[in-house]
Amino acid sequence: MQVDLKDKVAVVTGGTRGIGLGIAQALAANGAKVAVVGTNPEKLKQAVESITATGAEAEGYICNVASTEEVEKTVNAVLEKFSKIDILVNNAGITRDVPLGAMKDEEWDDVIAVNLRGPFLFTRACSKPMRRAKKGRIINITSISGLIGNKGQANYSASKAGLIGFTRTASKELAGKNITVNAVAPGFIETDMTNVLPEIYKTELKSRTPLGRIGQVADVAAAVLFFAGDEANFITGQILTVDGGLIR
């Protein structure tokens, strides 16, 4: 998908691998200057290099998205470097899959902190310059698990369901400043994390998916590009599932 993001500045959390990296690369390929946020210095360096090697502009930032101090420091650094923020993609997320009865407090708290507190902190910080500019795009990466639940993912599903509620509320609060807030809910997407799953499980998933295949990172990136572009000017508070028809 092609959109005109020339001179736009985008912040992508969790942008060092998988879906986040694909989103960061897609935004850069369409003209955006990208601030890639991650926690692993080596992976962050590789992610930035993969973007700058194409001639696009990117900068890496180490940040714990659940830390108010680190988020504010990172957003200030992005503003110092690029002078503005036009697009925020809240993608950073973790899993700690455990059956509900065996789930430890920290396994619940860690997932909620990264997956839900993180988007809140980055949205609060990035919406300030967007408010001043009276424009902006915020795109949250949720999951179909937040819509239908999933065994062993009480923490993850709760965090992603919470992100959907957050998206809809933030869209109402920020609409008056011409800032749209939408979410993309991927289904099963092929990444380095999912590649290790048994083939029998992946085959079963394909059979349940009407389109008959596993999603690709590019499928999710295309949805993000749509929300980031001018074509989505009059769309806010929406949740777009990218799952091949798996839930319906």
- Catalytic residues, by residue number, are 156
Integer angstrom CA distances of residue 120 from 46, 159, 170: 27, 12, 9
Please give the radius of gyration of the chain, using alpha carbons only, rounded to the nearest integer. Answer: 17
Rounded-to-integer distance, Cα 235 and Cα 171, Å: 10
C-alpha 154 chain-centroid distance: 20
150 sits in which H/E element: none
60 phi and psi angles, rounded to 5 deg: -105, 145
45 phi and psi angles, rounded to 5 deg: -60, -45
Are 32 and 10 in contact, with CB atoms under 8 Å apart? yes
Rounded-to-integer distance, Cα 181 and Cα 85, Å: 14
